[in-house]
């Protein structure tokens, strides 16, 4: 490779004013250039120099990856394949430079290793601390291979936490249906430093190794800048930015087993589940019990969702998805889903509205009735019916009045007839009293008087004879 003259070639990528056009590790060689023509010239130099010593370039093993669109080209009649990603030294390299694909691949490999160890984890002869050490020694290195060069975003942080908890739950044989918190699982495992806490430690160790070297190619690649203009908008997270975030705890902060004492997000009452660690604390995955807007249903929501949500998201998280039980001023129940604040007065319930005479009936929305937007007036038919009813009522009232007069007249005549009979009887009595004799008139007084005289006379005669 030295005889190919790549170091003197102008083709390559300028990083910190240094031209880099090839990277070599054992028998693997990576050529880099800014254009298709420059890359082809470098490849032809390597091919020609290899043929001088009896080596042949394998086109089948040669791949091309570009950050932009590129067409495949041929060498000696063979097409060089253009790919979007490939495996290099055990890691997946993508054209866009995103590490999320490699992280997902590592998780899949870790799950496969974890599944292969199921027979050991099921054994009752092996203690729990031994199983934990086995996971740390066999599974975690597979997952964390090459993590020193990862650019980890928040989504990947959550996946790392989820994978670690999945390993511990599988180790303890806790089914996904069990209502057991992650905090209780971590307390039973007592694993010490978490998987997410181990990753910044490895990255900082590698960064320190680079910084202690002088004029090292890796140091130039990691710290050097590339010329050009940035895109508009927010820039992607860089590897050096992740190192800076990991060092926010302070240059003198060392790893210890004390509990994390960093401030928690606003609204989170739970402590950090990790021991002392650099960088940000992992999102809190414990469940919070909150009341819905109706104050009826209890909801269980992850703490991190509440603490990171804005006002609209908090309203959605506090919604029980049931109909609001509140009553509107019109008397109907609110039709909206569980919501904060006062109920919107837009009652669309159908109500029956009648005209003043109750003949015409229509179904309209309640809110329009309350706002006096709709009113039903009587038509000509209603007025005619009302007039006929009024005339009929007057006729009935007139007939009733005449009937009452006739009844009173009949009662008056009957009363007068009764009075006439009594007068005739009294008149006859007076006429008979005038025609009575003196004896008939005083006979009731004369009989007792005569009896008294006879008794007195008899008593006198009796006394005279003695």
What percentage of residues in the chain have a pLDDT greater than 90? 6
Bigger pLDDT: 141 or 217? 141
Q: Which of 231-235, 330-334, 367-371 has the lowest mean pLDDT?
A: 367-371
Q: Quote the pLDDT of residue 362.
A: 78
CA separation for the pair 304, 286 (Å, rounded):
8
- CA 323 to chain centroid, in Å, comes to 14
Q: Which of 31-40, 343-352, 404-413 has the highest mean pLDDT?
A: 404-413
Domain ranges of the chain: 13-83, 100-225+237-246, 287-316
CA separation for the pair 43, 29 (Å, rounded):
10
Q: Which of 88-92, 112-116, 446-450, 455-459 has the lowest mean pLDDT?
A: 446-450
CA separation for the pair 199, 280 (Å, rounded):
12
Q: Quote the pLDDT of residue 301.
A: 85
Q: Which of 136-140, 378-382, 419-423 has the lowest mean pLDDT?
A: 419-423
Angle in degrees, CA 140, 251, 259, rounded to 5:
55
> Per-residue pLDDT tens for 116-160?
999 998 888 999 889 989 999 999 999 999 888 888 888 888 899
Assess contact for 66 and 82: CB atoms under 8 A.
yes
Tokens of 461: 């005669």
Residue ranges in 357-379 assigned as alpha helix (H): 366-370
Instruction: Tell me the average pLDDT across 432-442.
Output: 63
| 346 confidence band (pLDDT: 50, 70, 90) | confident
Query: Which residue, 197, 140, 142, is CA-closest to 167?
Result: 140
Instruction: Tell me the average pLDDT across 359-384.
Output: 75
Residue 353 backbone phi and psi in degrees, to 5: -120, 130
What percentage of residues in the chain have a pLDDT greater than 70? 89
Q: Quote the pLDDT of residue 106.
A: 92
Instruction: Tell me the average pLDDT across 153-179.
Output: 88
Q: Kindly give, in sequence order, each residue whose CB lies less than 8 Å from that of residue 113, ignoring residues fewer than 6 positions away.
A: 138, 139, 142
Output the CA–CA distances (angstroms, integers) from residue 259 to 132, 192, 307, in the order listed: 20, 10, 21
| 322 confidence band (pLDDT: 50, 70, 90) | confident
Q: Quote the pLDDT of residue 108.
A: 93
Query: Which residue, 226, 221, 230, 214, is CA-closest to 30?
Result: 221
Q: Quote the pLDDT of residue 254.
A: 47
Bigger pLDDT: 290 or 374? 290
Query: Which residue, 338, 335, 337, 356, is CA-closest to 346?
Result: 335
Instruction: Tell me the average pLDDT across 157-182.
Output: 88
Bigger pLDDT: 394 or 357? 394
Q: Quote the pLDDT of residue 435.
A: 58
Bigger pLDDT: 397 or 362? 397
Q: Quote the pLDDT of residue 110.
A: 92
Look at the block and give the residue holding tokens 């179904």.
Answer: 363
| 251 confidence band (pLDDT: 50, 70, 90) | very low
Instruction: Tell me the average pLDDT across 392-416.
Output: 88
CA separation for the pair 38, 32 (Å, rounded):
9
Assess contact for 328 and 282: CB atoms under 8 A.
no
Instruction: Tell me the average pLDDT across 91-113.
Output: 88
Look at the block and give the residue holding tokens 């006002």.
Answer: 311
Q: Which of 101-105, 207-211, 266-270 has the highest mean pLDDT?
A: 101-105
Query: Which residue, 35, 105, 99, 116, is CA-closest to 70?
Result: 35
Q: What is the pTM of this model?
A: 0.51
Look at the block and give the residue holding tokens 């599988």.
Answer: 170
Flag whether pLDDT at 366 surpasses 70.
Answer: yes
H/E segment holding residue 23: strand 22-25
Flag whether pLDDT at 429 surpasses 70.
Answer: no
| 113 confidence band (pLDDT: 50, 70, 90) | very high
| 213 confidence band (pLDDT: 50, 70, 90) | confident
Beta strand pairing call for 298-302 and 287-291: antiparallel
Cβ neighbours of 4 (radius 10 Å): 19
Beta strand pairing call for 22-25 and 18-20: unpaired
3-state secondary structure 265-284: CCCCCCCCCCECCCCCCCCC
Tokens of 210: 């680079």
């Amino acid at each position: 490779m030295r005889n190919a003259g790549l170091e003197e070639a102008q083709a390559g990528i300028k990083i910190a004013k240094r031209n880099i056009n090839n990277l070599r590790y054992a028998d693997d060689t990576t050529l880099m250039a800014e254009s298709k023509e420059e890359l082809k010239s470098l490849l032809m130099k390597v091919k020609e120099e290899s043929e001088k010593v009896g080596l042949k370039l394998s086109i089948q093993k040669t791949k091309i990856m570009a950050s932009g669109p590129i067409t495949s080209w041929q060498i000696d009649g063979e097409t060089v394949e253009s790919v979007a990603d490939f495996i290099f030294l055990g890691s997946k390299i993508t054209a866009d430079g995103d590490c999320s694909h490699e992280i997902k691949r590592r998780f899949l490999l870790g799950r496969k290793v974890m599944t292969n160890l199921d027979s050991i984890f099921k054994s009752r002869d092996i203690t729990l601390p031994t199983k934990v050490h086995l996971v740390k020694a066999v599974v975690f290195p597979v997952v964390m291979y090459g993590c020193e060069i990862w650019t980890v975003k928040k989504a990947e942080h959550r996946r790392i936490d989820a994978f670690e908890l999945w390993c511990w739950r599988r180790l303890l044989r806790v089914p996904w249906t069990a209502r057991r918190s992650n905090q209780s699982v971590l307390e039973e495992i007592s694993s010490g430093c978490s998987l997410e806490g181990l990753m910044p430690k490895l990255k900082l160790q590698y960064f320190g190794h680079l910084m202690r070297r002088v004029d090292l190619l890796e140091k130039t690649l990691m710290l050097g800048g590339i010329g050009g203009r940035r895109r508009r908008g927010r820039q992607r997270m860089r590897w050096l930015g992740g190192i800076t975030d990991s060092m926010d705890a302070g240059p003198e902060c060392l790893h210890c087993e004390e509990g994390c004492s960093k401030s928690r997000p606003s609204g989170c009452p739970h402590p950090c589940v990790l021991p002392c660690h650099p960088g940000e604390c992992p999102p809190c995955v414990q469940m919070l019990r909150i009341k819905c807007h109706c104050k009826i249903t209890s909801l269980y929501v992850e703490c991190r969702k509440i603490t990171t949500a804005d006002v609209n998201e908090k309203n959605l998280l506090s919604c029980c998805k049931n109909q609001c039980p509140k009553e509107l001023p019109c008397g109907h129940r609110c039709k909206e889903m569980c919501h904060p604040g006062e109920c919107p007065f837009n009652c669309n319930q159908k109500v029956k509205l009648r005209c003043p005479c109750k003949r015409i009936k229509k179904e309209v929305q309640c809110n329009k009735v309350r706002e006096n937007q709709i009113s039903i007036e009587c038509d000509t038919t209603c007025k005619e019916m009302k007039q006929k009813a009024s005339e009929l009522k007057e006729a009935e009232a007139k007939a009733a009045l005449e009937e009452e007069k006739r009844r009173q007249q009949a009662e008056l005549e009957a009363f007068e007839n009764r009075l006439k009979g009594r007068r005739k009887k009294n008149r006859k009595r007076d006429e008979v009293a005038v025609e009575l004799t003196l004896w008939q008139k005083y006979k009731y007084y004369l009989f007792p008087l005569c009896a008294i005289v006879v008794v007195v006379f008899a008593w006198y005669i009796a006394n005279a004879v003695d």
